[in-house]
Structure 1
């Protein structure tokens, strides 16, 4: 089957260029300081051109950047359950090491979005709930098989795992020598009766 043709292909390519520029600008400047005019300048088009492809303006660009990031992780975890799901979290941490800008962007946006008026507030809040729920489900499956450390509930294990992952990324961005994948694997292993 042939790919997109003509104007549609050009439009899709331009949208991808704008999304890449938005990622770069938001990574560097944060969402609040990043501007549509700077994104347009990076792409080499007008602000109107950017808004043609992202009619919702700057919030729509932010949403698309976040969705693109999450789609990669979702694809990696698709169909995984229990211990295999937890191993997938280690793989995600490994991929993060080659995507410093993306990690930095997410960290910055997650912090800015604590403010309820931030356009990404609801997205980030729902995302955290979804992640914690999915990790809880994985630990619940492990617990049902007798593989979770005694005295630890699946929810408590999930909250700890997410908190450690988030915290390690912040420290890594600050220049601490952290092996994201190895360290999260080690932490997950500390919650399990048998290592991953």
Structure 2
């Protein structure tokens, strides 16, 4: 019984090594200029070895890298609603200040995925829709208790907040004097009666 568990553990560790390498390669080169062979070389295995763990090749690797990033963020949002959810969004922005490479990879890929035929476009479309719905729900919950300023539409507040966060990240990556977390909080607070 210990044998399969040991093999499973080794396989899981190898997948994590491959994801770490994919993250590094995609961050450095962008998706289009990266190859499975290069990722395999970073890990020290063959391309076939990478494909054993990620049969969908480069597209599956990219999706797994992005899903790993999202799952870490979703842990901070888990079971939070209303004001707590909005405050957690600011916390996510705060944590990203320590993850420049992740933020840079995300920005590069989000831009690349605007091409209609880009293989990861459906991931970004679904992700933006899912986040917009969750942030809209949080603003609506705050509004239901009188916590939104007069005339604030929860959907508009959500989309404006998302756009601000995306833009702040891009400015930060280009070394402008922004504080992703504090400036995100300022935008969110502009819709609230009582600041976070």
**TM class by shorter-chain length?**
over 0.9
Offset of 1:36 from its aligned partner? 0.6
Q: Which runs of 5+ in 2 are unaligned?
A: none
Distance 2:47 2:11 in 1: 15
Matches within 5 A, 1:15-26: 15-26=15-26
Offset of 1:127 from its aligned partner? 0.3
Distance 1:190 1:9 in 2: 48
Partner of 2:41: 41
Offset of 1:5 from its aligned partner? 3.2
Offset of 1:167 from its aligned partner? 0.3
Partner of 1:55: 55
Matches within 5 A, 1:12-161: 12-161=12-161
Superposition TM-score, scaled by structure 1 size: 0.96
- Structural RMSD (CA): 1.1
**4+ residue stretches of structure 1 with deviation over 4 A?**
none
Q: Which runs of 5+ in 1 are unaligned?
A: none
Distance 2:117 2:185 in 1: 36
Offset of 1:6 from its aligned partner? 2.1
Distance 1:62 1:116 in 2: 17
Distance 2:138 2:118 in 1: 31
Partner of 2:170: 170
Partner of 2:189: 189
Q: Count residues in correspondence.
A: 194
Superposition TM-score, scaled by structure 2 size: 0.96
